[in-house]
Structure 1
Amino acid sequence: MSNKTPTLSVTIRTGRGKGAARRARNEGLVPAVVYGHGTDPQHLLLPKLELNTILRNYGLNAVIDLDIEGTSQLVLARQVDVHPLRDYVEHIDFLVIRRGEKVVVDIPVLVEGTPMGGTLTVQEASSVEVEAEAMHIPESIIVDVENAEAGTLVTAGDLNIPSGVTLVTNPEYAIVAVNEAKSAAATEDEIEGDAEGDATEAADE
């Protein structure tokens, strides 16, 4: 987790609608809205390149200090809409936060290490939900499967959660499984068996 808070200078958005949003994106700006703590929603325009740098270096759970035309506001990304084909940020919803308060966020789960030979690692979940102090959100949670044997199952409750962070996801929720890898011959036999079974069913019909 990082104690640094990146700063981003933004402007207030006056135009509304799809046409205005499209023009903003063509100018290298990302439409966004800021809400929460009883404040009126603010519609903003963010510089795309600077925003992408922050998201790349600090992750989607980065707390950002927005400089809204001279006014400082701490925010946390609540929803990041990415274009499904072109992979660029189309819009962001930001939540107003206060130093010291706790927030519930999704944390990425990363798998490291090489399990025992003849096994296959399957990641059942790519993230878990936790509650953490807004200024100390973990960037990720690591699952180490080094030399793990077939049949190993890592649940949410087995994760190494940092101090001060509370797991919200059901502790019995499966995160990573190390299974016995099927040999090519076994897989071929299984496929042939399925084909024979289908042929038999078709003949019976």
Structure 2
Amino acid sequence: MATQTTTLAVTTRTEKGKGAARRARREGKVPAVLYGHGTDPQHLHLPAREFATILRGNGTNAVIELDIEGTSQLALTKQVDVHPIRNYIEHVDLLVIKRGEKVTVEVTVVIEGDAASGTLVVQDANTIEIEADALSIPEQIVVSVEGVAAGTLIHGSDLDLPEGVALTSDPETLVVAVNEAPSAADLASEDEAEGEAAAEEAPAADAE
């Protein structure tokens, strides 16, 4: 869990729009907006390299001590928009928080262990929503399937959450299903059925 924060010196920004954002990114800055607790939104520039380092070390729910031109403000990384092709950070939403405050966030679910022989483990939920102290947000929730038999379903209510962390997702959310692995005969039958279906559709496609 995150028990300490990283201080990040940031600057305010007055220019908005795509052109201003492109210029900022060329200068190694990331456009961001800080909001919450009834405050007016603040438009900021974050140092891109330092911010990326914080995300690598703390995950997407990073808590940061912002130094806004001499004024300190604790903030939670709420949303990070990444360019789908070039993989650089386009924009960041930051949420004003206070020490001791509980926040609701999504965390990644990670599967560990090997289920019983002859099973197939299917992860239905990659993230779950939890409530936790702002300075004690777990980076991930681990689900162990070690030795678990076929037919086992693990729901949100079955997760082993750290002390002080509460589930806010639907307790009935299916997280992991351990199924019986298909046999070679089952796979062959599926391939045959798919081949027959494709053959039936071919004449209709040619007619078009």
Shorter-chain TM-score tier:
over 0.9
SS in 1 for 2:135: helix
| TM-score normalised by length of structure 1 | 0.93
Question: Residue in 2 aligned with 1:95?
Answer: 95
CA distance in 2, matches of 1:69, 1:169: 38
Moved more, 43-52 or 77-86: 77-86
- The amino acid across from 1:80 in the alignment is V
SS of residue paired to 2:191: helix
For 2:202 and 2:61, how far apart are their aligned partners in 1?
Answer: 54
Q: Secondary structure at the match of 1:135?
A: coil
* Gapped regions of structure 1 (runs ≥ 5): none
Equivalent in the alignment of 2:142? 142
Compared with structure 1, are the counterparts of its residues 17 and 194 closer, same or farther at alpha carbon in structure 2 (3 Å cutoff)?
A: closer
Distance in 2 (alpha carbons) for counterparts of 1:188 and 1:44: 58
Aligned equivalent of 1:51: 51
The alpha-carbon deviation at position 4 of structure 1 amounts to 1.1
Give the deviation of 1:58 after TM superposition. 0.5
What letter is aligned with 1:112?
A: E
Higher mean displacement: 182-191 or 6-15: 182-191
Give, in whole Å, the separation in 1 of the partners of 2:179 and 2:48.
Answer: 42
Shift of 1:180: 1.3
| Offset at residue 15 of structure 1 (A) | 1.4
Q: Flag the 1:198–1:91 CA change in 2: closer, same or farther, 3 A.
A: closer
Distance 2:128 2:157 in 1: 10
Deviations 1:70-111 (A, max 9, x none): 111000111111111122211001010011111111011111
1:39 and 2:39 correspond:
yes
In structure 1, the partner of 2:172 is: 172
Residue 153 of structure 2 is matched in structure 1 by: 153
Q: Partner residue of 1:112?
A: 112
Aligned to 1:24: 24
Distance in 2, matches of 1:51 and 1:162, equals: 27
For 1:85, the equivalent position in structure 2 comes to 85
* Residues 163, 196 of structure 1: alpha-carbon distance in 2 compared, 3 angstrom cutoff: same
CA offset digits 1:159-187 (Å, max 9, x no partner):
00111111111111100111111123321
CA spacing shift, 1:198–1:86, aligned 2, 3 Å:
closer
Q: CA 1:197 to 1:39, structure 2 compared with 1: closer, same or farther past 3 Å?
A: closer
CA, structure 1 residues 160+202, in 2 after alignment: closer, same or farther (shift >3 Å)? same
Q: State the number of aligned residues.
A: 203
TM-score (structure 2 length as normaliser): 0.92
Give 1:200 shift: 7.4
Q: Distance in 2 between matches of 1:190 and 1:97?
A: 53
Change (3 A) 1:185 1:6: same
Is 1:5 matched with 2:2?
no
Find the aligned partners of 2:125 and 2:103 in 1 and give their Cα distance.
Answer: 21
